[in-house]
Amino acid sequence: MSSPTIQIIIAVICLLSSITVYFQPKAEIYLKLFPLYLLITNAVSAVGVYMGEHNMNNTLLYNIFSSVEVLFYFYVLYEMIRNKKIKRAIVYISFLYLFLAIFDMYSAQQANVFHSLSYSFGSLFLVCLCVFYFYELFQLPKTNSLSREPAFWICTSILFSTCCTFPLFGFAMFFHTPPKFVINNIQIILLIINIFSYSLYTIAFLCRIKISKSMLSS
């Protein structure tokens, strides 16, 4: 079974598990938007793999999607963070990132390369916001069990995937035309990162499901 096939299967499993959020009482709006985000992610991944296998240029597709992904993560962290000043800063950063991404994608499209400048800017602020979320979380006088807190698992996934993919793409940028063995190794590493990230997302959507004592005894 090929790596793209495994990645799509993992994404589908995560998508199906995310749908359970609609059956959970008082689920936050950003959680209800996650199934749509995962559906789009899965579709883009499938289309990107198809285009790559048929020697079609998929650079613009990934540039657009990665920009939308960063903006969505900004929104998710905006909903998670409590500090009003930081929330206001996220709004300004999101607009700044949007303008930078549009400009950078236009320049990158002319050279047919990944929009590394705006991606680096977005990744840097995502890491900072994730760290602030954890700082704020552990400053609370009393918190619920983290194992049953979806925001904790989602933020962990965002931080992990961003910290891992950013230097990986940065390394790939050193090569104008990366050798095949470099591409193969990057694809394997990305597969491992995605499997771990999707696993954390799956935990986030399933952790609040309550299992009755009658089900446990049976």
60 CB contacts (<8 Å, ≥6 apart)?
A: 105, 109
Q: 78-87, 148-157, 208-217: lowest mean pLDDT where?
A: 208-217
* Average pLDDT over the chain, rounded to an integer: 81
Coil, helix or strand at residue 35: helix
CA–CA dist 12, 164 (Å, integer): 22
What are 64-103's pLDDT values in tens digits? 888 999 999 999 999 999 999 999 999 999 999 999 888 8
CB 64 within 8 A of CB 139: no
pLDDT (mean) for 45-58: 80
Kindly give the residue spans of alpha helices, DSSP state H, lying in 54-115: 59-80, 84-111
In the chain, where the domains are located: 3-209
What are 180-205's pLDDT values in tens digits? 666 677 778 888 888 888 889 989 88
Q: Look at residues 211, 103, 203, 217 and name the one whose alpha carbon lies nearest to residue 150.
A: 203
